[in-house]
Structure 1
């Protein structure tokens, strides 16, 4: 992906350093930043505080929106990019601690406890746990990764050229209200054919996929501090109540009750925030 070239590594960590046995980094990445393909001998948990990261593994694309982490096991080739500014947390886990963790790339629903531990480390500027209490907290985090609900991909993508064109259009404009029947006419197939092809490629229906896309975009906008009414309009909802109903149905919570502590613009974040650099999110 073309884009900005991340800065060289800051002092205190050399690219390729082994975690000891866990380490953490919170960084700002500007929109358009690309992270070249890389293989590492340790695991990574990637988690967006704001923005959305796109990660590609063996031709499959994974989205990392707020509230969902991406687990990358040791020895997995991956590359990534950000289309928008994002504030990102990376946890590096040494290979010996990965035995109980997923053996393939997985989307994880992050627990409040896991996010609280990461927030505590970031707030205190802890990149490598040194004290006995901090080491115990770090091991709790490893346990939480193992216990987290796993998904093959929250928002699946496909290499199918016909479907990829629709995906690109919807990704560029999540408020697009064209129905499946209208997309079928535009692509020259029947609605039934397009529906079957979509279900086969994604494992979910067209409407479900579009709802997930809207949720992903909504989470990013809300974490950036956008008002609920503004988010609703950008996603094609005529009024905020319809958007709130969708959000509550998808998450079990209302967007009006989301905590605002993470609603920060990149570059205005707390301690230990640095700019991105070569490698995938977190710099490892």
Structure 2
């Protein structure tokens, strides 16, 4: 598929679209600012020779890769190694930056899909890279920016903020149902009846494939959805109801145990970082 530069590039080739795979540079960055109301944008399963970093400032981006669903939370990005099949869906008003990294340029970067925290400095480097010429001077200032960007990316903290997607077809059906209706509080016993499978069998398969209990697996999905909804301005009470919690207090308790801070404090710190990294 064609990619387009974030800025109004003077080069007609850039205006017409280009393939990051074909750019003989360590990095290639693009950006897009999609207005609300354009609906869901989906990119089917595909892969790149180069590794890819997907960073969002606004909106919802959901990727499926490496046997997991990655709902990109605020101030984070998803790292997808080169050659890994993945799909992506975007919705709402989305401001997104994608960085493509040549495999030979950063061998120390993660070999598996993961979520990385984006510091204000790394954000500014990504913004700058999205406006650099595609064929930037490797020995000039932009080349040095590319080197610093890769150094910062290699040092970015990794956060396990994904929803593991099992291979077992019964568990995949449960996962799809939970994503469609996250308020469903059915137990693993109830799901066993729905799937015509012994609860113990489902539990063993889930633990074997994800390392998580059913409750912790579902909680991980709730955390990701909550981070997106709260970042969009939804009230804690509203998010608690959307996720099927009996009260806002029960939801806050779950959130604090999972991330070490209550939602208000967690989001306030994220937004404070946002302000520090703004232009």
Q: For this structure pair, what is the TM-score category when the shorter chain's length is used for normalisation?
A: 0.7 to 0.9
Q: Does 1:22 align with 2:11?
A: no
Work out which structure has the larger RCO, using CA pairs closer than 8 Å and 6 or more positions apart in sequence: 1
- Structure ranking higher in helix proportion: 2
The 3 A distance-change label for structure 1 pair 222 and 140 is farther
Q: State which drifts further: 159-168 or 16-25.
A: 16-25
Q: Decide whether the 8 Å contact of 2:29 with 2:98 is kept in 1.
A: yes
Q: Decide whether the 8 Å contact of 1:247 with 1:255 is kept in 2.
A: yes
Q: SS of the counterpart of 1:253?
A: coil
- Residue pairs, 1:115-134, within 5 angstroms: 115-121=119-125, 127-128=131-132
5+ residue gaps in structure 1?
A: 1-5, 265-269, 272-284
Q: Deviations over 1:244-271 (max 9, x none)?
A: 2211221122211213759x9xxxxx99
The 3 A distance-change label for structure 1 pair 8 and 26 is closer
5+ residue gaps in structure 2?
A: none
Q: Deviations over 1:20-65 (max 9, x none)?
A: 433433324554212244443422111233444333447x343142
Q: Does 1:9 align with 2:14?
A: no
- Could you tell me which residue of structure 1 aligns to residue 79 of structure 2? 71
Aligned residues: 255
- Per the TM alignment, residue 76 of structure 1 is displaced from its structure 2 partner at its CA by 3.6
- Residue pairs, 1:163-174, within 5 angstroms: 163-174=171-182
Q: TM-score, normalised by structure 1?
A: 0.73
- C-alpha distance in 2 between matches for 1:162 and 1:126: 42
- Per the TM alignment, residue 199 of structure 1 is displaced from its structure 2 partner at its CA by 1.4
- C-alpha distance in 1 between matches for 2:48 and 2:2: 19
- Per the TM alignment, residue 195 of structure 1 is displaced from its structure 2 partner at its CA by 1.5
Instruction: Please report the RMSD computed on the Cα atoms of aligned residues, expressed in angstroms.
Output: 3.5
